[in-house]
Chain A
Amino acid sequence: DTEVTQTPKHLVMGMTNKKSLKCEQHMGHRAMYWYKQKAKKPPELMFVYSYEKLSINESVPSRFSPECPNSSLLNLHLHALQPEDSALYLCASSLNRSMNTEAFFGQGTRLTVV
């Protein structure tokens, strides 16, 4: 199984809603990531979890709250988002944080904030 599974595939939410994005992998990877990709732009790193602990927060606003309940799951809790937060949210995982490892990406959740 070399897949990173993200749910839902599409999400429309209002600015006062609370929603969560989910990501799951069963490759035994111990590093997991959230990226944000706007149209016609490259993915931008948001968070890194390493061994279920938050390792990197790339100055992401607090309306995005990540959570790593176990080594296979990564959530992104969303609250009071703005329309400019509409984007494709990508989850990725890699074996660990070491030098020689590549990231495997999920299909993403396309989020629209109305």
Chain B
Amino acid sequence: AQSVSQHNHHVILSEAASLELGCNYSYGGTVNLFWYVQYPGQHLQLLLKYFSGDPLVKGIKGFEAEFIKSKFSFNLRKPSVQWSDTAEYFCAVMPRRLGGYQKVTFGTGTKLQVIP
């Protein structure tokens, strides 16, 4: 079974600071990777996804993530955060297997607080 680790539980940054949130997964095969964001009082929204191809993926709102297969990592980055980025961020992994349901497993989440 797959698992996902997000080592930063709570991150506090000032506006314009750079952001990197760590995500490591455990699974022996090929995976799809996702970052979801949950703004206060709102639903989970997809920030970006990696299925295959270029390991550097760009998402909405200036976020990007890099898949490093050798490190089983999919870290989320943003060069300059804004107060509106205050939210909880979830990394998720889905095994790529032909046929059948591919279960998505979420990490425990990282709460980002951006101070104006």
What's the least CB distance linking B67 to chain A, in Å?
15
Provide the residues of chain A in CB contact with B106, threshold 8 Å.
Answer: 42-44
CB–CB A97/B107 < 8 A: no
Q: Does any Cβ of A come within 8 Å of B98's Cβ? A: yes
Q: Which residue of A lies closest to B44 (CB)?
A: A105
Range, interface on chain A: 20 to 34
Q: Does any Cβ of A come within 8 Å of B116's Cβ? A: no
Instruction: State how many residues of chain B have any CB contact under 8 Å with chain A.
Output: 23
| A63 vs B90: C-alpha distance when bound (angstroms) | 29
| A81 vs B17: C-alpha distance when bound (angstroms) | 45
Q: Which residue of B lies closest to A108 (CB)?
A: B43
CB–CB B46/A45 < 8 A: no
* One of A40, A55, A102, A106 near B101 (C-beta < 8 A): A55
* One of B43, B51, B100, B104 near A100 (C-beta < 8 A): B51
CB–CB A100/B32 < 8 A: yes
Q: Does any Cβ of A come within 8 Å of B71's Cβ? A: no
What's the least CB distance linking A83 to chain B, in Å?
23
Q: Which residue of B lies closest to A4 (CB)?
A: B43
Provide the residues of chain A in CB contact with B61, threshold 8 Å.
Answer: none
Q: Which residue of B lies closest to A100 (CB)?
A: B51
Question: What are 28 A-B pairs with beta-carbon distances under 8 A?
Answer: A4-B43, A31-B101, A40-B109, A41-B109, A42-B107, A42-B109, A48-B101, A50-B101, A56-B103, A90-B44, A97-B100, A99-B32, A99-B51, A99-B96, A99-B97, A99-B98, A100-B51, A102-B32, A102-B49, A103-B46, A103-B104, A104-B46, A105-B36, A105-B43, A106-B43, A107-B42, A107-B43, A108-B43
